[in-house]
Amino acid sequence: MIEAKSDPDAAKLLLDGEIYSRSIYHSQQAVEKAMKSYLSLAGRIITDDHRVSDRFADIFREMPVEVVRDAKFLEHHGTRSRYPLFRDPSRSMWIPSREYIRDDDRGL
């Protein structure tokens, strides 16, 4: 949890500075690190995987559905917010710093 505590602060600073893609990334990191901390306390050590919400939900079944849903949402956008994406030459390249904006329709 020590490392997880700095990520919300970074996310807030980046949000205030309108650097939304990096704010999303640090928000995702805070959630991932917190879930990994709880999983480690339950004897489930996960170090090399960034998608941990399913395992978290399996172990902590009493966790509200919304928490797991939001964690999955951030898992998806945490990676997407960091890397340009180019799959199809007929489409424009996805550039996270240009695509993520405040109050967009993705629910961010």
Task: State both tokens at 56.
Answer: 């978290």
pTM check: above 0.85 = no
Q: Is residue 1 part of a domain?
A: no
- Domains in the chain: how many in total? 1
Tell me what pLDDT residue 6 has: 92
Tell me what pLDDT residue 8 has: 94
For the chain, which residues score pLDDT lower than 70?
A: 104-108
State which residues form the domain around 72: 6-99
Q: Is residue 108 part of a domain?
A: no
Tell me what pLDDT residue 19 has: 94
Q: Is residue 106 part of a domain?
A: no
